Structure 1
Amino acid sequence: MKVFTLFIALIISINLSADQPPDWQDYVVTSKNRKWTALISRDHTIQEPWRDNWTLSVYEGFKYPFPRPDFVPVWSRTYEHHGYSEGILSDDGEIFVYVEFWYRENYPVIKIYKKDCTLSKNGSFFNIGEHLEKSTSHQLWLDGSGEIKFLSINSKPYIKVQTLAGDRYVSTTCGE
């Protein structure tokens, strides 16, 4: 019985620490003030969702679960979906941010989508150094909350990212 109990405890601990698989579903993100909605949707032109085309569409107003077919987005951009239904939309609907939980030094860990551009920052931009935590199969770089905040510095829009090495700031201005 003790061996069986130990085996069950081991299986449970492995499952709890394993990384979550991608879900590849269309999803909606609403701004904190609930005045804007972002819909991330798949074109369904290819059977494999990771190879298909995805679109980020931002709508004025709270439209859940999906906007009516006749409702036109304020802006749209091609979206590089990684299979996780995450993101944050600014209260003015101008900025959508996706943050990777897993750290990759030479791969974008933050994608910033705006009407006129898409910005990305590799892990090396954040100068995390030795402040990484190991998961079952990846390195984590965000602090416990992983909170992203929109703010203004010298009248320019930025996001603040809470990392394991402290707060980091990223300009959301196109061309910077």
Structure 2
Amino acid sequence: MWVLLWGAVTPTIVVGGVLAAVLVVTVFPFPKAPWTWVVRPWPTLVLTVRFLWDLVRASIEVSWFALRPSGPPPSALLRIDLRSRSELLMTITSELVCLVPGSLLVELDSEEGAIYLHVMSAATDDDIEAFRLSVLEQERRVVRAFAPRVERDAVCSGVRA
């Protein structure tokens, strides 16, 4: 970024940028994050494959909504209460959900443990319930992949962590 700001690549600019970065990081260090997490290879692979499948499926559905002769489907704003209380896991869950076409994260309330999502396809109560369950399943996959053992066991057993 420093080199782009100066518009030229010279040894003086590069060294000056490195020194400026070291100075900024030394004077203004990042706070320590209170998060604990682990990476479990198999659940992470399951999470990745399922996310990619959801991405492809939702992209086809959204394309069909755009091309079909009738108008757009009814949409809804939903509050979904997550079971995990970890801000990191709630953020990962909400990011994975909103990266899939057809939904948009409106708000993440970490104190309440809830996310608010705008859902594009909410024609029936069954559609809304299916979407809510898909978000909770995504959270369960995230928790299985990254949560510490105590939180993983609590969330996967259905108890709010």
Q: TM-score range by the shorter chain?
A: under 0.3
Q: TM-score if structure 2 supplies the norm length?
A: 0.26
TM-score, with length taken from structure 1: 0.24
Structure with higher helix content: 2
Using CA pairs under 8 Å that are at least 6 residues apart, name the structure with larger relative contact order, 1 or 2: 2
Q: Which has the higher strand share?
A: 1
Q: Larger Rg: 1 or 2?
A: 2
